[in-house]
Structure 1
Amino acid sequence: MAEFGALNWSILVIYVIANLGLGFFLGKKIHSADDFFLGDRSIPWWAIGISVVSTYVSALTFLGGPAWSYTDGLSVIAIHLNYPLVIFFVVTFFLPFFFNSGVASIYEYQEKRFGPASRSVMSGVFLLSQGLTSAAVLYATSLVLEFITGLPVEYCIAIVTLIALIYTSLGGIAAVIWTDVIQAGILFVGAFVILFALLGEMPVPVAEALAQLKAQGRTDALDFSVDMTRVTTVWSGVIAMTLFHVTVYGANQMMVQRTLAAKNIGDAKKSFLMMGFGAFFIYFLFILLGVLFYSYYGGREFENGNTIILQFATDYGLPGLMGLIAAAVLAASMSSLDSAFNSMSTVSTVDFYQRYFKPGESGEHYLKVSRLFTVFWAVMIVIPALMFAESEGSVLETLSKVGSYFVGAKLSMFALGFFSKHTTERGLLIGVAVGFVVIWYVATNTDIAWPWYCAIGGAVNISVSLLASLALDGRQEEYSPYTVVGQKAQFAAEGRPEKEGNWYLIPGRVDRVSYYLLGLFILTVVFLYLFNAMIG
């Protein structure tokens, strides 16, 4: 503990106090559950956008990204090629449905489209999957505190949980977003300091190091193999992981809830577009770090690969660097944990407590319940976090594997809701149940790589749901008003404008700026090809 030093401790403590202080300040503006869930709808789009970015670019990326690419090379970036495509679909189809409805929980859509049972199932799936995801984030951050302080990881898990819990329960979604802005700044300052330090400390010139890495096959990011047992191929990234990430951003309360706090549909879309245009470059930075670390350390094995970036900071010895890195990783974790706590509290309150137990209560009552649920979920994620502590692989890969079990159900329930005429609630629930069984079988009895679980689960869910709906309830005479076709007809019948400013209100219409995302996707593939081709 003494080795960490007063300067490093000062940086870390100031960061923690600033977050708690901001949560306390914003908490004074919270008077109802709507304030807690959605703020006052006056938060600027750029702050929401930074919050979206920093929530998913968490401690799992800061630690797990370099750990994964240290082992597998630059091919790991293939998993993250899809963000421009993902955000294209999310802002075109998902956001208009949710923003126009004025809901706090996006799973209210499921009830409007299918019925109360499907809403409860989707909400339950979210709570389970998000709890496991948050546990992985919590464990990743606790690794940092254990590394720098020598405290047992169990104590570190408790400390991190308590800090995130306090300011989230005080300030609600506003505290989540504004602390995320601070946390993003610290995260990227830390990342760039490490990058420039690493470039300056390489044992050979960077060009020579990259040439050696290329000879070992570690700089080729574009693996066009059609082998579905391999994780990091172009096809798994562009096809399977596009479907995976569409559910992460479009069908995930944690990601969408902050956009519902925007002033208008344009601001909501712009906040997500920030992720679409910036995600590839962010992930490339962290994955490139892992590749360069492999050269710096000569490919030596680490007892736990997730501590590579921390080991380098220790070896480099710059005064205050370990404090900055510790704050950066803690910041990355807090930006994910606070969002998880708030969104899980929202779903628990709106989709279960208010829906089934205490409808019609006051806003103050639901605010109190929401804060109690925040505490409840903070305590609950500690259990799986302790289980993750037994894992020595990349926490980023571990998280992705865990999430892949659930995304097929999310994907199918929203895809059928948006586009299907004949799917009914009974058929949908049968499809979801069969899909889970199939994914379990694929995961335990085949060598198919986890990125494909979403595509397989989604295909099974959709096929079985359609067949079961037709068998049980027959063909439907018209599209639901909550489908894309139904929304277009409803807008036309009511004479409502399709646009608000330069942004489409109606789902299925493509905003002009979104086409640039498709161009960016092509450019990133070309960039990765040229990056490898021009080495040595």
Structure 2
Amino acid sequence: MIMNEFGLLNWVVLGAYLCVSIGIGAAMGRKVHSSSDYFLGDRSIPWWAIGISVVSTYVSALTFLGGPAWAYSEGLSVLAIHLNYPLVIFFVSCFFLPFFYNSGVASIYDYQEKRFGPASRVVMAGVFLVSQTLTTAAVLYATSLVLEFITGIDVTVCIVIVTIAAMLYTLMGGLAAVIWTDVIQAGILFAGAFVIVYLLLQQMPVPLGEALADLKSRGMTDAIKTDLDINKVTTVWSGVIAMTLFHITIYGANQMMVQRTLAAKSIGDAKKSIMMMGYGAFFIYFLFILLGILFYFFYQGREFENGNTIILQFAAEYGFPGLLGLIAAAVLAASMSSMDSALNSMSTVSTIDFYKRFFRKDADDSHYLKVSRGFTVFWAVLIIVPALLFAKSEGSILEVLSKLGSYFVGAKLSMFGLGFFSKNTTERGLLVGVAAGFAVVWWVATNTDVAWPWYAAIGALVNIPVSYIASLLIDGRQEKYSEYTVAGQRELFSNSGRPVKEGNWFVIPGAVDKQSYGLLVFFVLSVCSLLAFNYMIG
């Protein structure tokens, strides 16, 4: 291992990062006086900080290390499954955010109860807690493996250290601490990435143009692959169709992502914050994936025992003072920006959707604040358990549980889609559809070679018609649209005379802001730029 070469300077860099994160939590903790402050801050956080938090929450340690590792074997085509973000954010800002922001609540699953009933709320909140526990544990385990590789500290100890650090500042400062530490963590993450890119280009044996020409001859620079094989993950159809549906659930129907936008000052700030991902994702993933193919040239396709260690291997070989400490801090920042968000959102859902809903409906706010912090500790401790199980496995459990998380994506997408647009879908029919969709996705995942990005589309294609038909058979046709559908909201706004805009931004669901059309233009430009990039390489 690299522990003997880690050195004092690297430990100072890593230690300073941890101290700053915990210090921010302590500072933000002074502003937390209620459970609302803990869940949503004091609604004074600027939109750009919320936007950076949204970006850094999804760009985890798995992206920092796994992106280059995946591109090392598959080439620039890996970028295809990330082209969809402008389309995703277009739909999320148009339909999802107005419903959640107008409700004034901290939990997005409150919408499920208003639209369908308490059972659907409990089901989706429960699915979120289970899937988020497993996902966060996977990120925690992957990060701890990296820290073990860099520092030599046992992976079990690393799991505990990372968890305690993230828990402490989240516990003290709530969502505000999560957002502001995410801003710092994003800076460290991208500083680490840019330093690696710069040093790698400095070490290249030939100019960049020659390296790219060589990579093109090996088929590594073609990002737009039009194969119609649904068994392949990295095709443009998988990215634009399947992964658009997948990511809509990640950004529109995921408490962890939506909660920080609910902390914005206005609907306009909420939409601007999430649009940061719509415009920024292309450049972020291009950076990490380009890094992967450049490493492929630098190491001439050499096989690594673990592809996720390529960046670490390069940093160790280069020997730049403090570089390993910066990379360790970047990996830790990437992980903790995902983990702190998970802990805060899981605490929110546990308190609002379960504890307050079923156990103590009328307690004072100071009680709910204490309960929220208690749930933060509870989930931090619980997440350690599957992370330790991953550490004792040979990887098969990690693979199975990672796929399991994608089984529920179709159900989430369908529940919100039917909620927004369907008049006749009822709670009992919806739950029948969720069960049917999950069963079909399970069968497809275990009996076919269909690539996992298509699970969301398959689940939705089963869930939607089954839910609709089951609703008609069980409860019959409904007389009118629910108040919590797009049509119902339009009628509500019309009858009440309420303005449909707040400043230059629509507050009514289903209305497209003129600013959102830029996302569609950017999507077309990003596809064209990748085609041009490959064409122009000599």
| TM-score, length-scaled by structure 1 | 0.98
Q: Any idea what SS the aligned residue of 1:298 has?
A: coil
Q: Does 1:326 align with 2:358?
A: no
Q: Deviations over 1:183-229 (max 9, x none)?
A: 11111111101011111111232222212211111111111111110
Gaps of 5+ in 2: none
Q: Match of 1:254?
A: 256
Paired residues, what number? 536
**Alignment partner, residue 295 of structure 1:** 297
Query: Which of 205, 216, 219 is matched with 2:218 structurally?
Result: 216
Q: Which SS does the other structure have where 1:381 is aligned?
A: helix
* Correspondence for 1:130: 132
**Matching residue of 2:485:** 483
> Which amino acid is the alignment partner of residue 309 of structure 1?
I
Alignment equivalent of 2:98, drawn from 96, 99, 103: 96
Match among 6, 17, 20 for residue 22 of structure 2: 20
The alpha-carbon deviation at position 385 of structure 1 amounts to 2.0
- 1:151 maps to which of 135, 150, 153: 153
* Amino acid corresponding to residue 10 of structure 1 in structure 2: V
Q: Tell me which moved more, 96-105 or 396-405.
A: 396-405
In the TM superposition, 1:315-464 aligns within 5 A as 315-389=317-391, 401-464=403-466
The alpha carbon displacement at 1:375 in A equals 1.0
Moved more, 141-150 or 190-199: 141-150
Aligned twin of 1:495: 497
Question: 1:33 Cα deviation (Å)?
Answer: 1.1
CA contact (8 A) 1:24 1:170 kept: yes
Matches within 5 A, 1:276-291: 276-291=278-293
Contact 1:303/1:392 (CA < 8 Å) preserved in 2? no
Match of 1:72 among 74, 82, 85: 74
- Counterpart CA distance in 2 for 1:288 and 1:398 is 29
Output the CA distance in 2 between the equivalents of 1:393 and 1:73: 24
The 2-side partners of 1:364 and 1:480 are apart by 35
In structure 2, the residue matched to 1:10 is 12
User: Which residue of the other structure, out of 503, 520, 524, is the alignment partner of 1:522?
Assistant: 524
Deviation at 1:281, TM superposition (A): 0.6
The residue aligned with 1:170 is 172
Give the alignment partner of residue 40 of structure 1, picking from 25, 39, 42: 42
How many Å separate the matches in 2 of 1:389 and 1:525? 39
Structure 2 partner of 1:230: 232
Give, in whole Å, the separation in 2 of the partners of 1:403 and 1:391: 18
Contact 2:38 2:175 in 1 (8 A): yes
Q: Distance in 1 between matches of 2:152 and 2:319?
A: 18
* Contact 1:68-1:397 within 8 A present in 2 as well: no
Residue among 309, 312, 318 paired with 2:311:
309
Partners of 1:87 and 1:387 in 2: CA distance: 35
Counterpart of 1:203 in structure 2 is 205
Task: State the secondary structure of the residue aligned to 1:508.
Answer: coil
Q: Is contact 1:68-1:290 (8 Å) kept? A: yes
Residue 388 of structure 1: how far off its partner (Å): 3.8
* Unaligned segments of structure 1, at least 5 residues: none
Q: Specify the code of the residue in structure 2 equivalent to 1:186.
A: I
- How far apart in 2 are the matches of 1:5 and 1:225? 49
> Structure 1 residue 391: deviation in Å?
7.8
Q: Aligned letter for 1:407?
A: V
Report the alpha carbon displacement of residue 158 of structure 1 after superposing the two structures with TM: 1.0
TM-score (norm 2): 0.97
Is this contact kept in 2: 1:74–1:219, CA < 8 A? Answer: yes
- In the alignment, the residues of structure 2 paired with residue 43 and residue 360 of structure 1 have an alpha-carbon distance, to the nearest angstrom, of 29
Question: Aligned equivalents of 2:396 and 2:207: distance in 1?
Answer: 28
In structure 2, give the amino acid aligned to 1:133: T
Q: Which moved more, 1:388-397 or 1:305-314?
A: 388-397
Q: CA deviation at 1:358?
A: 1.0
Distance in 2 between residues matched to 1:464 and 1:402, nearest whole Å: 22
> What is the CA distance between 1:396 and its match in structure 2?
12
1:59 corresponds to which residue?
61
Amino acid at match of 2:454: W
d(CA) in 2 for partners of 1:182 and 1:501?
31
Secondary structure, in 3 states, of the residue corresponding to 1:384?
helix
Per the TM alignment, residue 262 of structure 1 is displaced from its structure 2 partner at its CA by 0.7
1:500 corresponds to which letter in structure 2? Answer: E
State the distance in 1 between where 2:251 and 2:481 align: 25
Do the aligned residues in 1 keep the contact of 2:66 with 2:308 (CA within 8 Å)? yes
Q: Which whole-Å CA distance do the structure 1 matches of 2:114 and 2:294 have between them?
A: 51
4+ aligned runs moved over 6 Å, structure 1:
390-400
Confirm or deny: 8 A CA contact 1:36 1:172 kept in the other structure: yes
Q: Summarize the Cα distance change of 1:194–1:146 in structure 2 as closer, same or farther, 3 Å threshold.
A: same
Counterpart check, 1:265 vs 2:246: no
Q: Is the 8 A contact 1:43 1:261 kept in 2?
A: yes
Q: Which amino acid aligns with 1:152?
A: D
Indicate the residue corresponding to 1:109 in structure 2.
111
TM-superposed CA distance for 1:10, in Å, is 0.7
Distance 2:417 2:391 in 1: 36
Task: Give the fraction of aligned pairs with identical amino acids, expressed as a percent.
Answer: 74
Q: CA deviation at 1:389?
A: 3.9
Preserved CA contact (<8 Å) 2:390 2:398: no
Render the CA deviation track for 1:137-169: whole Å, top value 9, x for unaligned. Answer: 112211221011111211111111111011101
Please tell me the residue identity of whatever aligns with 1:485.
A
Q: Post-superposition shift, 1:390?
A: 6.6
RMSD: 1.6
Q: Give distance in 2, aligned partners of 1:384 and 1:196.
A: 37
State the Cα distance separating 1:20 from its structure 2 match. 0.6
Q: 1:54 to 1:97 in 2, by over 3 A?
A: same
Would the aligned equivalents of 1:90 and 1:250 in 2 still touch at CA under 8 Å? yes
Task: Give the partner amino acid of 2:243.
Answer: M
1:504: Cα distance to partner?
A: 0.2
